[in-house]
């Protein structure tokens, strides 16, 4: 019973980390008319993620076409 009281006390008195509400700041950032597409308005991190995704997509597409080309060739007789 003592263990239950201790565990309930630590759970109920645990300090919660307070996060600042930044929704209005983000709304201003993403609604600003600065000519950037919405997927790049987050800054450098968004740009890096976009370029990495585009690069992986291009690599995968080229690899798929290469593999299709190799698979379509007849095997050489031994």
Contact between 46 and 39 under an 8 Å Cβ cutoff? The reply is: yes
> What confidence score (pLDDT) does residue 66 get?
97
Query: Is 64 inside a domain boundary?
Result: yes
pLDDT 10s per residue in the chain (78 long)? 666 666 665 555 555 677 888 999 989 989 999 999 998 998 999 999 999 999 999 999 999 999 999 999 988 887
Q: Which two tokens stand for residue 41?
A: 């308005």
Position 18 scores a pLDDT of: 78
Count of domains observed in the chain = 1
Contact assessment for residue 53 and residue 39, using Cβ atoms and an 8 Å cutoff? no
pTM for the structure as a whole: 0.61
In a domain, 70, yes or no: yes
What is the predicted pLDDT for the residue at 15?
57
Residue 13 lies in a domain: no
How high is the pLDDT of residue 6? 63
**15-52 CB burial, b ≥16 within 10 A, e <16:** eeeeeeeeeeeeeeeeeeeeeeeeeeeeeeeeeeeeee
């Amino acid at each position: 019973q003592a263990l239950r009281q201790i565990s309930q006390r630590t759970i109920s008195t645990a300090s919660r980390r307070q996060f600042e509400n930044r929704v209005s700041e983000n709304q201003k950032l993403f609604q600003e008319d600065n000519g950037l597409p919405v997927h790049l308005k987050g800054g450098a991190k968004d740009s890096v993620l976009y370029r990495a995704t585009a690069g992986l997509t291009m690599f995968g597409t080229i690899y798929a076409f290469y593999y299709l080309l190799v698979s379509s060739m007849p095997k050489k007789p031994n």
